[in-house]
Amino acid sequence: RKEVEQDPGPFNVPEGATVAFNCTYSNSASQSFFWYRQDCRKEPKLLMSVYSSGNEDGRFTAQLNRASQYISLLIRDSKLSDSATYLCVVNMGYDGGATNKLIFGTGTLLAVQP
Amino acid sequence: AAGVIQSPRHLIKEKRETATLKCYPIPRHDTVYWYQQGPGQDPQFLISFYEKMQSDKGSIPDRFSAQQFSDYHSELNMSSLELGDSALYFCASSSGRTGKLFFGSGTQLSVL
């Protein structure tokens, strides 16, 4: 079982739709959580951090449920430009080294249709 | 704002050749990571450096090595290249151990 799991999709949604992605992680000691966006053959870009209290950035809302060990990303009013792969990233902290151990999920592909 | 700079953007090599990829992190970032991403795959962690010292190693083959220099730039050296090494190689940097990574545009390595 992978340490971080995501539904690979693709999620095909019409413009204006609301779409939600979930991500589960196996290590309960994980310290911080992030959503990254990656366009085809481009570098991943930080979309938002995820906090236990939930956080919102415009049309994007992220939630963390530590008890159930999952994080979610909600996108409202989808735009064509939201089409990308969304990567869930879990920070395991310092796993014996001096740098964070960051585990990427396999990503969820979103395709917003006109 | 300055971003992570990687060079070259594209590299074509033949089997058994060597390749060197370069990364210039964001100024004042103290941590550098290298990732390998195959087609349709998530980024796989290779190696990281904190304050120019190697910190962690992931799934990096013995044929690969990396170092970080006094000016904080990092190089990934790959020898005896194999077809399976063809991938996008990303460098990322971060500051203050936040776990937030800033990625370069990557180097597309093609091994023929």
For the cut 80, the answer to whether the pLDDT of residue A73 exceeds it is: yes
CA B87 from chain center: how many Å? Answer: 11
Instruction: For residue range A26-39, list pLDDT tens digits in order.
Output: 988 888 899 999 99
For CA atoms A36, A44, A87, A26, the dihedral sign is: negative
Q: Which helix (H) or strand (E) is A75 found in, with range?
A: strand A70-75
Residue A60 φ/ψ, nearest 5 degrees? -110, 130
DSSP summary character for residue B25: P
* Closest alpha carbon within chain B to A44: B103
* Closest alpha carbon within chain B to A106: B42
For the cut 70, the answer to whether the pLDDT of residue A95 exceeds it is: no
Mean pLDDT of B54-71: 92
For chain A, say whether B56 makes contact (Cβ under 8 Å): yes
Mean pLDDT of A38-53: 91
Q: What is the pLDDT of residue B13?
A: 97
Question: Which chain A residues are within 8 Å of B94, Cβ to Cβ?
Answer: 100
CA B91 from chain center: how many Å? Answer: 4
Nearest to B31 by CA among B78, B75, B88, B74: B74
